[in-house]
Structure 1
Amino acid sequence: MYYFSVILLSAGVTPNFIMEKNQLDDIDIQILKLLQQNAELTNKEIATRLHKSVATIHERIRQLKESGYITKIVALLDRKKINRKLIAFSHVLLHDHAAATLSTFEKEVAKFPEVMECFQMTGTFDFILRVATSDMDTYHTFYRKLAALPNISTVQSFFVLSETKSETAYPL
């Protein structure tokens, strides 16, 4: 297959399984949709569903990883079973917005295991953190450490009462 690809490329023809300029074709999109729903699917199972060869699926998944479309494959855990029952969204306002201040905050907040996501935002607050803890006491301990970071002006937290939708698959 590699020899065939080299011949096609040298003739100026690009085989359809090689992504050009970060563009996905229908098969790539179907593969990504399947893997977002169940990353445990084997290449053979994907090939059967898409009516393609196992080698084609293997090569396409390799290309999707290599080009950065698939960044990692993980297990999604039930947060309640691992005692992360309390979810908070903490809005953080910094005293100043110098590049060094922002960078320092980002490095420090990345050290907190309770912080699941950190987003720099526009609007009233500079960052929004999604925080997972076991209970309010644990959150309070986290909050005190967060508020003690340099250049923190305000931390305002909102606690999740119920989860209506939680999706990990991006629409394609």
Structure 2
Amino acid sequence: MEKIDDVDLKILRILQEDSKKTTREIANSLNLTPSPVYERIRQLEKKGYIRKYVALLDKKHLGIPITAICMVSLRYHDEGFIDKFDSQIKKLKEIQECYHMAGKVDFFLKINVASLDHYHEFVRAKLSKIHNIGVLESYFVLKEITSTTQYYF
């Protein structure tokens, strides 16, 4: 990956905090003119430093306030079984995040649902239907202490 300079890093930090800031606002905060800032942002996008711009939504307002953490261990671990699990998990829209892990469990899932009843139905009707799941452990978030989409560098 090509190295970027301190100005690019400052631009990335600003955009992480608020991606709706205009080029002019970013330029003003860096004591630069908008044109080079615009070009820097375009290059950061082109080089893959910026993947996309999104809106962060409030799950409570959306009616999905329950967050479950689900630890999944597979029975069999050859590449075919793992690839099949990956493709099946991607189809389940309730799953916000899925990580393939090293350690005691194979996968870490973050799931958002409307209620415990909805979670029970999700596990019963969808998650448990995925072939090769050996162990499935669920944990429920009582309070979100901190949550961020920002990387610190």
The TM-score normalised by the length of structure 1 is 0.86
Q: Deviations over 1:107-134 (max 9, x none)?
A: 1001111000000001111000000001
Q: Deviations over 1:26-74 (max 9, x none)?
A: 0011000000000000001101110112111111111111111110100
Distance in 2 between residues matched to 1:74 and 1:124, nearest whole Å = 33
1:118 aligns with 2:98: yes
1:129 aligns with 2:119: no
Other-structure match for 1:22: 2
Other-structure match for 1:170: 151
1:76 aligns with 2:20: no
Percent identity, aligned pairs only, is 39
1:58 aligned to which of 33, 38, 56? 38
Q: Aligned-residue CA RMSD in angstroms?
A: 0.8
Larger gyration radius, structure 1 or structure 2:
1
**Letter of the structure 1 residue corresponding to residue 141 of structure 2:** V
The TM-score normalised by the length of structure 2 is 0.97
Other-structure match for 1:148: 129
Unaligned runs of 5+ in 1: 1-20
Q: How many residues align?
A: 152
CA displacement at 1:103 relative to structure 2:
0.7
